[in-house]
Amino acid sequence: MLVFGYAATFDLNRAPIAIYNEDTGSASRELIARFAGARAFRVVGRIARQSDIAEFINPKKALLVLHVGREFSRDLSNRRPASVQLVIDGRNSNTALIALNYAQTILADFNRRWAEQQHLPLPATRLDIRAWFNPNLTSRWFIVPGIVGLLTLVVTTLVTALSVAREREQGTFDQLLVTPFTPLEILVGKALPGVLIGLVESTFILLMAVYWFSVPFVGEVFALYLGIVLFVTATVGTGLMISSLAATQQQGLLGAFLFIVPSIILSGFATPIANMPEVMQTFTLLNPLRYFLVIVRSVMLEGIPMSLLLDQYWPMALIGLATLFLAAWMFRRRLY
């Protein structure tokens, strides 16, 4: 929880930049000072020649190079448009776009302050942006609630996927054949520990999210826990289905990872489902984590009531019933 909470972030913090300043005026110094003082950037070098840019970008010494031309201050003083060049390392496109947005924000603030100091007319139209539900755009508020579903998925699936496989590998599963238990009773006995583990784990992660990472909780507790119960039931059913097919723990472990990894990728945890190809979006409809992430983020950050989350509840309930039915059917075939 701590590793994911601190390491998984979309925020740019002290990204290395290099400065190539050909101007000696006060305007360029003020602009460079804004970049150097921003929390998102840290200056790692100064460049004197155009050919030195590649020496910082190619070996990843700097994420971007700020190039201020020699006519920058003169153009501003003469009330002419002044240009600034940003050379960005685009090998990681997501990081490059985030860095570009930070740089554009700094430049826009510089333009507004310069216009006020020089008594220049401000633009006729200005875009004022308000972020609902996350006013400071803190990525941790988005990531940490998703970790509730991610870690619960991993633990409950692994625990249940290995339960029956371990008994079958050790030979103790055959002892169930001489007990008076029915396949349904055996299935319930195998499912309940996984459900309890999932509920306890998700509760602990929620407490960490609220009281350690200070993620707001503005919705109804019952609406969230209904989603947790349905989600845990669906993952436990999937784990039991995998376990009933596996003859050894190794097969159960591999089967669990074959389910877990695509589930995380296709859940919308880090990348929006709407940006995926239509075929992949169709596959996500079979993924219980997809629905649970909507529930946990909607309840915690938006305070959406249970009545508006019904379209997320019933798919998880359907997945849980289907997987538990298939697991019971496979148990019956194994027992008889």
Model confidence pLDDT, tens digit, residues 32-62? 999 999 989 999 999 999 889 999 999 989 9
Q: What is the pLDDT of residue 311?
A: 94
Q: What is the pLDDT of residue 293?
A: 96
Task: List residues bridging with 46 in a β-sheet.
Answer: 19
Cα-based distances in Å from 56 to 18, 32, 198: 7, 18, 47
Cα-based distances in Å from 58 to 65, 77, 90, 120, 135: 12, 35, 11, 40, 36
Residues of the chain with pLDDT under 70: 122-127, 173-174, 177, 334-336
Give the number of residues written for the chain. 336
| Interatomic CA distance for residues 324 and 233, integer angstroms | 8
Q: Please give the angle made by the CA atoms of 283, 286 and 292, to the nearest 5 degrees.
A: 115
Q: What is the pLDDT of residue 274?
A: 87
The model's pLDDT over 110-142, given as tens digits with 9 standing for 90+, comes to: 988 888 887 877 666 666 777 888 888 888 898
Q: What is the pLDDT of residue 320?
A: 94
| Residue spans of beta strands (DSSP E) within the chain | 15-21, 41-47, 64-68, 84-88
